Amino acid sequence: MLLPAEGKEEEMSEELEAKVKRYLRGEGANLEALQDKKLKTQLAIREDLYGKSAKAAAKAEKWLMPSEGGYLEAEGLEKTWRIKQESIAREVDILSARNQHDIILPDLGPYTLDFTSSGRYMAAAGRKGHLALVDMKNLGLIKEVQVRETVRDVVFLHNELFFAAAQKKYPYIYNRDGTELHCLKEHGAVRKLQFLKNHFLLASINKIGQLHYQDVTVGEMVANFRTNLGRSDAMRVNPFNGVVTLGHSSGTVTMWKPTSSAPLVKMLCHHGSISALAFHPNGHLMATSGKDRKIKLWDLRKFETLQTLPGHACSLDFSQKGLLACGNGSFVRVLGNFSDSQTYEKYMTHSIVKGYQINKVLFRPYEDVLGIGHSMGWSSILIPGSGEPNFDSWVANPFETSKQRREKEVKSLLDKLPPETIMLDPSKIGTYKPLTKKEKPTKQEREAKMEEVVAAVKDAPLKKKTKGRSKPSRRAKKKQESIAIAKRPFLEQQMKEDGALSRKKQKISEEVQLPASLQRFATKKKGT
């Protein structure tokens, strides 16, 4: 029986450790602080189970996820960013080469794109009113509609059956067959639309800076706020925690949740207006670009700049594997962080036909493809290493049948999250708030409260009793009693505090030794 060499074993276990860490979802609980032995043993058993399940998942990776991602390696003096798409097309198989194409639609305005979460379907919208639904697997057009109005943005709802288009006056929701299902008048003239998948909320920002959240399952308007910060050109949802981020013309980036009318975070990012925003799938990294010709990478845990890159970007997007695409003019560059460093460096570049202006760059999920919407149509290019190679059928299945799609819809509706679960740190759900020391109400507040209570008691109607039991004298006495009862807790509190005060005073002045019989009335100092 061949045993692996000692060194190999160590390597394997280190790899395994790294994998296990990913499945552990954070540190284990500290059980030393617990005093309840029963609870301690119960929790220790559970922690043990978590460790075991993480290890099992790490070991199963080898069998469950056999495919490894794409890669691009330059040999010799070659640099990866000088490699053109044509040379890549020559090296890969025919099926992947089909993913590289340009669709030219010259008269219908700059195009914006959206992909479904499985990456199979794409919705493209041209500014002059062209809406198209494309199946990317076989590159077939499912439906195209001409709405004869300006269309500014398009977004898929929970699956490919529904999509929303931000048209001239209001956003509309369409079916896969192109039938208009709803006209959302409340939103107004929407600039940008975003869909929160777990909450089934359609978020929109309109020309006058109003943010609307609408629940698309019941049609209820969950929230609408006035941002009071003017025009915003950029809007993005952080996939990690469901927080909507807006980039304003003053250079500030604000983060919103539907349950509070004030923004969660307001940060000044750029000296000019923000032109694009993007979020890394792990939720901790945000890329912003501004008119001051800078692209900044922010750490959202500390709200600090990690890296500043020079250059404009009219559109930004992160891929599932963490590659950043910046589109500017007719030039796209893709940056990646390799070799375990935090910095992003140039990985690949691509220029489309000179004169075509890029409107939007968007990575296609679960594929190594970047979709570019520009002023003369849309293109798609290959970026090896950008997509997640192993998909989970219960999360997003590119090979979904209609039966599976229906089941998934029902299950995701059952798991629909209420809007209160949107918060900056989603791991706070299920935890206890630490006990904050209640601040003592001031004397005025206390008196006010007492007055309130006494007034309430005075107003309370007394029951009318018979047989001479509701004489005026009796009623007056009962009223006095009830007022005294209502006042009692406040007075007790007061007395307690006064007592504490006087005891404190006594403590300070009592350096004199008390006689033995009175010892128990003096406060005992520590150590004596």
Partner 1 sequence: MRVKVISRSTDEFTRERSQDLQRVFRNFDPSLRTQEKAVEYVRALNAAKLDKIFARPFIGAMDGHVDAVSCMAKNPSYLKGIFSGSMDGDIRLWDIASRRTVCQFPGHQGAVKGLTASTDGRVLVSCGADCTVRLWNVPIATLEESADPPGENSTEPVAVYVRQNAFRAVDHQWDGELFATGGAQVDVWNHNRSQPVKSFEWGTDSIISVKFNPGEPDILATSASDRSVTIYDLRMSSPVRKVIMMTRTNAIAWNPMEPMNFTAANEDCNCYSYDARKLDESKNVHQDHVSAVLDIDYSPTGREFVTGSYDRTVRIFPYNGGHSREIYHTKRMQRVFCVKFSCDASYIISGSDDTNLRLWKAKASEQLGVVLPREKRKHEYHEAVKNRYKHLPEVKRIVRYRHLPKLIYKAGIQRRIMIDAAKRKEERRKAHSARGTVVTKPLRTRRIIKEVE
448 near partner 1 (CB under 8 A): no
- Is residue 64 close enough to count as binding partner 1 by CB under 8 A? yes
Query: Using the rule CB under 8 A, is 95 a contact of partner 1?
Result: yes
Out of 43, 96, 127, 225, name the contact with partner 1 by CB under 8 A.
96
How many other CB atoms are found less than 10 A from the CB of residue 256?
A: 24
User: Residue 156's beta-bridge partner residues?
Assistant: 163
Spell out a b/e string for 307-339, using b for 16 or more CB atoms within 10 Å of the CB, else e.
bebeebbbbbbbbbbbbbbbbbbbbbbbbbbee
Helix 6-24 × helix 37-64 angle, to 10°: 120
- Is 500 among the residues that bind partner 1 (CB under 8 A)? no
Residue 178 engages partner 1 in binding (rule: CB under 8 A): no
Tell me how far apart the alpha carbons of residues 350 and 331 are, in angstroms, rounded to a whole number.
Answer: 6
Using the contact rule CB under 8 A, the part of the chain among 5-13, 142-150, 219-227, 393-401 near partner 1 is 393-401
Least spacing, CB of residue 330 vs partner 1, in Å: 24
Q: Does 85 engage in binding with partner 1 (CB under 8 A)?
A: no
Whether 227 and 211 have beta carbons less than 8 Å apart is answered as yes
Tell me: does residue 353 bind partner 1 (CB under 8 A): no
How far is the CA of 73 from the CAs of 298, 334, 348, 382, 383, in angstroms? Answer: 28, 15, 11, 14, 12
Confirm or reject binding of residue 515 to partner 1 (CB under 8 A): no
The answer to the question of residue 27 lying near partner 1 (CB under 8 A) is: no
Options 70-78, 183-191, 323-331, 490-498: segment touching partner 1 (CB under 8 A)? 70-78
- Site map (CB under 8 A) of partner 1, residues 266-285, x = contact: ---------------xxx--
Q: Which is nearer to partner 1, 178 or 281 (CB)?
A: 281
Binder of partner 1 out of 6, 27, 36, 93 (CB under 8 A):
93
**Nearest of 352, 308, 359, 49 to residue 192 by alpha carbon:** 359
DSSP code for 94: H
81: contact with partner 1 by CB under 8 A: no
With b for 16 or more beta-carbon neighbours within 10 A and e for fewer, the 344-375 pattern comes to: beebbbbebeeebebbbbbbbbbbbbbbbbbb
User: What does 201-214 look like in DSSP terms, one character per residue?
Assistant: EEEEEETT-EEEEE
Q: Of residues 9, 220, 392, 497, which one binds partner 1 by CB under 8 A?
A: 392
Q: How far apart are CA 453 and CA 459, in angstroms?
A: 10
- The answer to whether residue 331 forms part of the interface with partner 1 (CB under 8 A) is no
* CB burial string 485-510: b at 16+ within 10 A, e below: ebeeebeeeeeeeeeeeeeeeeeeee
Nearer to partner 1, 190 or 196 (CB): 196
Nearest CB to partner 1, comparing residues 230 and 418: 418
Which listed range, 122-130, 168-176, 240-248, 449-457, lies at the site for partner 1 (CB under 8 A)? 240-248
Cβ neighbors of 248 (< 8 A, separation 6 or more) are 227, 229, 230, 231, 232, 254, 273, 274
How many Å apart are CA 176 and CA 160, to the nearest integer? 7
Strand 210-215 versus strand 201-206 pairing type: antiparallel
User: Taking contact as CB under 8 A, which single stretch among the options 29-37, 201-209, 263-271, 387-395 is the one that binds partner 1?
Assistant: 387-395
Q: In angstroms, give the least distance from the CB of 419 to partner 1.
A: 11
Task: Using CB under 8 A, pick the residue from 270, 309, 367, 486 that binds partner 1.
Answer: 367
CB of 70 to partner 1, least distance (A): 5
- Contacting range for partner 1; rule: CB under 8 A; set: 95-103, 108-116, 222-230, 439-447: 95-103
350: Cβ contacts below 8 Å, ≥ 6 apart: 84, 85, 331, 332, 333, 334, 381
Applying CB under 8 A, which part among 92-100, 105-113, 288-296, 338-346 lies near partner 1?
A: 92-100
Residue selected from 430, 434, 468, 515 as contacting partner 1 according to rule CB under 8 A: 430
Out of 156, 174, 298, 366, point to the residue binding partner 1 (CB under 8 A).
Answer: 366
Smallest separation (angstroms) from partner 1 to the CB of 471: 32
Tokens of 119: 């990456």
Strand 162-167, strand 315-318: pairing = unpaired
Q: Which of 18, 29, 59, 87 binds partner 1 (CB under 8 A)?
A: 87
If the CB atoms of residues 73 and 107 are measured against partner 1, the closer one turns out to be 73
- Assess contact for 185 and 226: CB atoms under 8 A: no
Query: Strands across the sheet with 140-146, in order?
Result: 111-115, 121-126, 130-135, 140-146
Cα distance between residue 41 and residue 45, in whole Å:
6
Total number of residues binding partner 1 (CB under 8 A)? Answer: 65
- Name the site residues for partner 1 (rule: CB under 8 A): 22-23, 25, 57, 60-61, 64-65, 67, 69-75, 78, 83, 87-88, 91-93, 95-96, 99, 137, 198, 239-242, 281-283, 366-368, 382, 384, 387-399, 401, 404, 414-418, 421, 426-427, 429-430
